[in-house]
Every structure is written in structure tokens, then in C-alpha cells.
Amino acid sequence: MPSYLSIFLYILEYLYERFLRLLTGDLIIDEETDPSTVVGKVALVTGANSGLGKEVAIALAARGYKVILACRNLTLGKSVVQEIQQRTRALSSNLILKELDLANLSSVRTFASQVSTQYPKLTLLVNNAGVYFDSDERQVTKDGFEVHMGVNHLGHFLLTNLLLDNLKAAAPSRIVTVTSTNQLIADLQLDDLMLERVENFGFQNTIPYNNSKLANSLFTKELGKRLVGSGVTTYSVCPGLVATDVFRNFTPFRKFYTNLNILLVGLTAKQGAETILYCALDKNLSKETGQIYRFGKHFKSAMKKMDGQVGKSLWDISLQLVGLNKK
């Protein structure tokens, strides 16, 4: 665990970068402006029914992408599809709603099989969906994984690996995974990835979420190394403190406290989505891979904590946990 001084400095760094972000205005993305360049391109966004995922889906649909909206709640997803059509005038054929439950690896495999068959070429994968529980007790997925590690990391780890051939077929293509500044205060122990040795988290109940977000970034870096020369590049994004549905499982007091912080130093979902879109679309990032970004630039504090050996070990453990052959 980092010291209280380190945490204080991380907070100051965030506030400083957030202030600079306010001064500079909207993030400018240097992207292709010819609409014909995106015709037929397919993008997949997990957790597209709300918050960051919804804003990313809206932006991509407005640019002419065929967008696969991967959602756990299809009822909510249908209303989002209608909203996107109204806001962007996107063709209904360009908005594909599919069910995906990242807490169930069987659902991930079924979903990936459908997408892989129906869309041989996948230009962009945005791993955005996530959970964040405010609980002192360990919670698990259907497969028995600690819920944050299971959904936020392993679900996306499996999904990404199952769709790699589709991404390679569409090269140049990109994989953008949403992480969090909370990775800076993670306490990831590879010999207890599922936190089975912890009986009660107490005041450290953010540790499960923090660990899953560090795992996201380690995965992105390791995947980037493995895909060098394939035409597929990877990016991790810390969107900042954003008003999204990820806090839906918080206690009333924690929710009030979080909303107050968002009001003071946070961002809207649209603002938070800007760096995701920057990594997904900016031409100047085509030669970069495996890096972490926040507020439209490299997140250097987080990048310094990326241990290559830990990333490789996490990869091997993750392969075993999701039932994939070691590569």
C-alpha cells in the first residue's frame, strides 16, 4: 500500500491536471475527417448502455461507425439505441445491441462467438464496462471470482483474447481499456488475486476495485508487447472522476460523498469519454501501444508503476483462470 504522503501527492497531481484540463477546453482529436474512411468499420463498446460507454457509442455512431453495444441490461440498451439514433441520425443497421454479462464467462464466450462469426473484421474494441461495490465483504461472480477482478479484468481479458483474430483482420485496429487513477493505490498480490485471504476489508474496501484497475493497465501493457507487428495497438485510459453509473452499488453516505467530489472536481460522462476517443481515433497515437493516458496525455505516475514481470505473470494466471491455452 502507498503511504499517506503518496496518496496526498496523487490527489494534488489530479487536481493540477484537472485544472489544466479546464483551461484548455475540449480535447482536440487529430483524426481522419473523410467520412468514407469509416464506412464498414466496426467498433465494439462494452457497457454501452450508460455513462462513458454510452458517450463513446454516441460519438462513434455520429462518425459513421457500425457500433456493437455490449450490454448486460438489454431493456436499458434498447432505449439507448433509440437515443443514439435520435441524437446522431445513425442508421438502425449501424447500431447492434447484444447481451453481454462479464460476470459470467459462459456469456462472454457466447457473445464473442457471435461477434466473431458475424463481424470478421473488428476495427475498435473499447473495454469500458465495470463494477464498483462499496462493501466490507468479498463478493464473487458466477464463476467464483472476486467480483471486481472477475468483471473488470478477467471478463475483458477473455473477451479481448477471443476477438484478437477479428482485430488483426481489420488492422490497423485498436483496443482501448478503461482503467482508473485508483490503480495508484492498489495492493495487487498475485498469490491472492481473488483476495481469499481477506476476511473483512474495513476502511480499505476500495482495494478490490483498485486491484482490478491496475490489472487492466498491466494487461494492456503486456498485450501491447505481444501484438507488436500485428497492426493492433493497445491503450489504457483513466477518464478522471466521472459521474457514471459505476457508483450505483455504493451506500447512501458513500454515494453522497462521491457525488460531492464529482461536483467539485469531477467531469461529465461526455468529458470523461474524450480521452477514450482520443486513444481510439487520434492518428498520432498509431505508433504507440501499451501506454496509459489521462486528460489527453500520458499518465506518467501510473506508467512508472507498471512492472513488466508482474504483467507477464498476471497474463499467465489470467489465461489459466479463464480456461485459455498458454500463449
The pLDDT assigned to 122 comes to 99
Give the whole-angstrom CA distance, residue 100 versus residue 38. 25
Handedness of CA 68, 69, 73, 77 (dihedral sign): negative
Q: Do residues 68 and 115 lie in contact, with contact meaning Cβ atoms separated by under 8 Å?
A: yes
The answer to which of 72-76, 129-133, 253-257 has the lowest mean pLDDT is: 253-257
* DSSP 8-state symbol, 150: I
Residue 209: active-site member = yes
CA 226/CA 221 separation, integer angstroms: 9
Q: What is the mean pLDDT of the chain?
A: 92
pLDDT at residue number 257 = 65
pLDDT score of 246: 66
If pLDDT is split at 50, 70 and 90, which confidence band does 289 have? very high
The residue with greater pLDDT, 177 or 135, is: 177
Burial of residue 30 (CB within 10 Å: 0-12, 13-18, 19+) is exposed
Catalytic residue among 65, 119, 209, 278: 209
The total of other beta-carbon atoms located within 10 Å of residue 11's CB is: 13
Q: What is the mean pLDDT of residues 97-123?
A: 98
| Confidence band of 312 (pLDDT split at 50, 70, 90) | very high
- Higher pLDDT, residue 18 or 105: 105
Q: In this predicted structure, what is the pLDDT of residue 23? A: 83
**Which triple of cell numbers denotes residue 71?**
450490454
Does the pLDDT at position 109 exceed 70?
yes
Which pLDDT tens digit goes with each residue over 200-249? 655 567 899 999 999 999 999 999 999 999 999 999 999 999 877 766 76
Domains and CATH numbers, the chain: 4-322 (3.40.50.720)
Residue 69: per-residue pLDDT: 99
Residue 304: the pLDDT is: 86
Cβ atoms of 136 and 205 within 8 Å: the answer is yes
Nearest-angstrom CA–CA distance, 217 and 175 = 12
Specify the pTM.
0.94
